[in-house]
A = this chain, B = another copy of it.
Amino acid sequence: MSDDSKIIRSDGYRWKGVERKDYKTDTDNFRDIHRYSILGDETSDLNTHMRYFEVQPGGYSSLEQHRHTHSVMILRGSGTVILNDRMETVQVQDVIYISPHTIHQFHADSDEPLGFLCVVDSKRDKPEIPDDQTIKKFITDPKILKKIRK
């Protein structure tokens, strides 16, 4: 059985009935970021989950890698994304595809919140925090090595 069809109303980068949640509960390598599970969560049987993450200025997501993929669209503000040895500014409606095992991190390094939609499979592996040796293998650019937070 699947959830019934529904409309979830937007309310200024928030959605009616969708609570703000902890970004993660088992690690602490992130700052000033929250999660909103718009469609699909632990209790749902949807195949695909649509989440909204919002990072406050100065904050960042965890530096992580995993087998599952992320399909991301920026919805609010601008910031920086790190994808292995690549670092780029992203802004509203840019789409980022994060392939398996790419080390990635989002930084809200402009003066506004960075908000993004992130679509994932419901069945997915647990993100891993890369150790220094793994980081060195995937990231060589000194500017990126300086930018990452771990």
Contacts and interface: CB of A to CB of B under 8 A. Distances in A.
Interface of A: 2-10, 13, 15, 38-39, 46-48, 50, 69, 71, 73-75, 81, 83-84, 86, 88, 90-100, 102, 104, 117, 119, 121
B93 A75 contact: yes
Contacts of A15: 93, 95
22 contacts: A3-B97, A5-B83, A5-B102, A7-B81, A7-B83, A7-B90, A7-B94, A7-B96, A8-B97, A9-B94, A10-B74, A10-B91, A10-B95, A13-B93, A15-B93, A15-B95, A39-B71, A39-B95, A46-B69, A48-B48, A48-B119, A50-B119
Contacts of A50: 71, 73, 95, 119
